[in-house]
Amino acid sequence: MDHFEIKGGAMHAEGVPLTDIADSVGTPVYVYSSATIERHARVFREALSGLDLGHGEPLIAFAVKSNPNAAVLATLAREGLGADVVSGGELLRALAAGVPADKIVFSGVGKTEEEMALALERGIGQFNLESEPEAETLSAVATRLGLSARVAFRINPDVDAGTHAKISTGKADNKFGIAYDGAVAAYARAAALPGLDVAGVAVHIGSQLTDLNPLAAAFARIGVLIAALRAEGHDIRTADLGGGLGVPYDPALPAPPSPADYGAMVQRATQGWDVRLIFEPGRLIVGNAGVLLSRVIRIKPGATHPFVIVDAAMNDLLRPSLYDAWHDIRAVTPTGERFVAHVVGPVCESGDTFATNRDIEAVTDGDLVAFMTAGAYAATMASTYNSRALTPEVMVSGSDWAIVRPRIALEALIAADRMPPWLSSGTNTIGG
């Protein structure tokens, strides 16, 4: 459920008409609903409330990569969530937004020594290691700093998540995690390294999962592994079950499993594990909490159907061209009429297409459209391709709203380039 609804003829985010935001900030612009973000955080926590809490509340570590805006992170920090980070930049963002260091988990295959040192010095809760060489490097960095790193290995369970290939991470030939079959030997070697506290196991098989079976299969393998590791004398205290639960993008498709269904499956799968559970949801928390608001530039006649050319493009919302993703596209002030159209952006790429042969609410030049479910993996992937200004972000709370990232203006972008000395004399004026 989200808080984007038509009231009095115009779509609102909570109590604010999107027309007001477009008029004041311009378009394209991302708009987030803080009530929706909070609601999703609470629904997810409640879905886990049936779990065996022998080891305390589960840690819900929001996957920062899905939406790293400081206002989003601060909203979730106030709800008690931690953070799953995949870079030093995300770590600094999470800390700056008020996420306590001990609620931060550091994932990712390519952590550098600098990032490891930063995370150790800030005292993060856990490193999820993705290879044995990484364990050796972290051991060396921790030893040099006189610190201890609490670690888990991310296990690659070799299950097919049944999602888009670009967001599948749990097959043996994916770059993520250590091989399931070699895990016991890897733990033995890691436990012998100084500076590491080998405390847990971790798994994350992919994103936008619409079937719980691959997750259940992965968790079953993790349960077997925990028992095997304990039999070898390891003190396994945490199990990080990753993120990945899908959200509804297309209202015509069956809804993905609910958080409650997920929670019930987790409860069955983790029976008797006797660990503190960690979860890393991203999309589930923020996906439906954001829209990309865009204005129709013009309608261009097409061979079969018209092209609705909007002022948002693939640089603002990459998911359709990157993942063949489907976003619902709605008129902000619907008239009741519908038509079939292609919805495209102005960027000079055929991939800059949001929808083909789509039956949508009829719109015309100057009308506003909303790309729904644009709160996750959306603004964070925006670029300035085609020298387009970086998309701004707005957060709504009740009848209040605020710009939480201003549009980065073209002047600032152009001024960021530097002329090399051999081009900087003479008549050039670009970049001052």
Ligand X SMILES: *Cc1c(COP(=O)(O)O)cnc(C)c1O
Q: Which residues are catalytic?
A: 348
User: Which residue in the set 125, 170, 195, 244 belongs to the binding site for ligand X (CB under 6 A)?
Assistant: 244
**56 labelled binding-site residue:** no
Ranges assigned E (strand) in 345-414? 353-361, 368-371, 393-397, 400-405
Number of residues that bind ligand X (CB under 6 A): 15
> Is residue 281 a contact residue for ligand X (CB under 6 A)?
yes
User: What is the rounded distance in angstroms from the CA atom of residue 363 to the CA atom of residue 337?
Assistant: 9
Residue 97 DSSP SS3 = coil
Residue with token string 């204005």:
295
Residue 230 DSSP SS3 = helix
Contacts of 246 (CB under 8 A, 6+ apart): 163, 207, 208, 209, 210, 256, 257, 283, 284
Which residue number, 62 or 273, has a Cβ lying nearer to ligand X? 62
β-bridge pairing 82-85 and 104-106: parallel
Helices (H), 169-258: 183-191, 213-231
> Is residue 150 a contact residue for ligand X (CB under 6 A)?
no
Characterise 190 by phi-psi region: left (phi > 0), alpha (psi -120 to 50), beta (else). alpha
Q: Find the part of the chain contacting ligand X (CB under 6 A) among 248-256, 281-289, 298-306, 382-390.
A: 281-289
User: Which residue in the set 157, 243, 345, 392 belongs to the binding site for ligand X (CB under 6 A)?
Assistant: 243
> Is residue 163 a contact residue for ligand X (CB under 6 A)?
no
- What are 397's strand-pairing partners? 400
**431 labelled binding-site residue:** no
Of 72-101, binders to ligand X (CB under 6 A) are 84
Q: Find the part of the chain contacting ligand X (CB under 6 A) among 62-70, 72-80, 140-148, 413-421.
A: 62-70
> Is residue 282 a contact residue for ligand X (CB under 6 A)?
yes
**280 labelled binding-site residue:** yes
Residue 317 DSSP SS3 = coil
Of 167-226, binders to ligand X (CB under 6 A) are 204, 207
Minimum CB distance to ligand X, residue 163 (Å): 9
> Is residue 65 a contact residue for ligand X (CB under 6 A)?
yes
Of 105-144, binders to ligand X (CB under 6 A) are 107
**377 labelled binding-site residue:** yes
β-bridge pairing 400-405 and 338-344: unpaired
Q: Which residues bind ligand X (CB under 6 A)?
A: 63, 65-66, 84, 107, 204, 207, 242-244, 280-284
List residues forming the annotated binding site for pyridoxal 5'-phosphate. Answer: 244, 280-283, 377
Residue numbers belonging to the annotated binding site for substrate: 283, 319, 323, 349, 377
